[in-house]
Amino acid sequence: MKRIILALSFISIIFPVYPSGVLREQAQSYCGQGYKLQSMGNYQDALSFYLKAIGADPSYKEAYNDAGVIYEKMGFLDKAEKMYLEAIRVDSKYLAPYANLGFLYEKKNNVSKASYYWGKRYFLGDRREYWTQKAREHLIKLGAYPRAMRDELEDKALTLSKNLVYKRERQRLKEAWLHFDLGSKALGKGRYQQAEGEFKTVIGLNPSDKKLLNDAQKYYTAAEAAALRKSIKGYMENGLNYLEEKDYLSLLQELRKAMSLVPKIPKE
């Protein structure tokens, strides 16, 4: 045990674990130093500090964006692109890299992508904010403003449609569970025909919960079989009564009714 504790202590010395807040402060410090160097025109050293910030805290979106700016100034457009995209991956609502990607793709003469990212910058931003208006200007310049508006409306319509479908599905699932519970209670109390009806309703609702649907199908079959057996038993009991009364014609009719149901009993 002592050896294990010593080994763990040794590992913790070599690979110290810092609280996330400490790492974020370290990353912010690196970015601060990088910005000072960047403002002095020392892009190479500024970049090294931005990359250190990313190493300290890989979730620090600003560091990716700042590194992208430096890469772009140094002429490494592909590396700049990766950094901007990474900043968006970390936080899709972080606005700065959208504008930077808009500029970048204009440099690359990629009108489609430039329009896309300027459109994202415009629609995610406050309409009164400076860079939101700049994004609109670039969309107009690229001839993409009407298309961007149309795409945004289509996206909103699609989102609304998905939300509506989700809401309806939740309601259908809730209703399916209600009927399943009623069916289960009816089955447990021997009310087989009622149970059949409830489980049939669940199947008709076709809920997204496949286990619920499979269970409803299984219990529907069980309820159907139990209901048929109960009917057969009833006919047989009626037949025995007619036998006691020596009413052989009625006995034969009840037996025929019972025998006609036997082939209908489903395999459970």
> Which of 86, 117, 90, 88 is CA-nearest to residue 101?
117
Instruction: Please tell me the pTM assigned to this model.
Output: 0.50
Residue 46's CB is within 10 A of a number of other CB atoms, namely 24
Residue 3's CB is within 10 A of a number of other CB atoms, namely 7
Residue 168's CB is within 10 A of a number of other CB atoms, namely 10
Q: Is 147 exposed, middle or buried (0-12, 13-18, 19+ CB in 10 A)?
A: middle
Residue 213: per-residue pLDDT: 87
Mean pLDDT on 84-91: 96
d(CA 260, CA 243): 19
pLDDT digits (tens, 9 = 90+) for 97-149: 999 999 999 999 999 899 899 889 888 888 788 988 888 888 878 876 656 56
pLDDT digits (tens, 9 = 90+) for 139-160: 878 876 656 566 665 566 666 6
Residue 70: per-residue pLDDT: 95
d(CA 64, CA 90): 9
* Segments making up each domain of the chain, as ranges: 23-91, 171-264
Mean pLDDT on 41-59: 94
Class of domain 23-91: mainly alpha
Residue 15: per-residue pLDDT: 38
pLDDT digits (tens, 9 = 90+) for 242-253: 888 888 888 889
Split at pLDDT 50, 70, 90, the class of 63 is very high
Q: In three state form, how does the secondary structure of 172-189 look?
A: HHHHHHHHHHHHHHHHHC
pLDDT digits (tens, 9 = 90+) for 214-224: 988 988 888 88
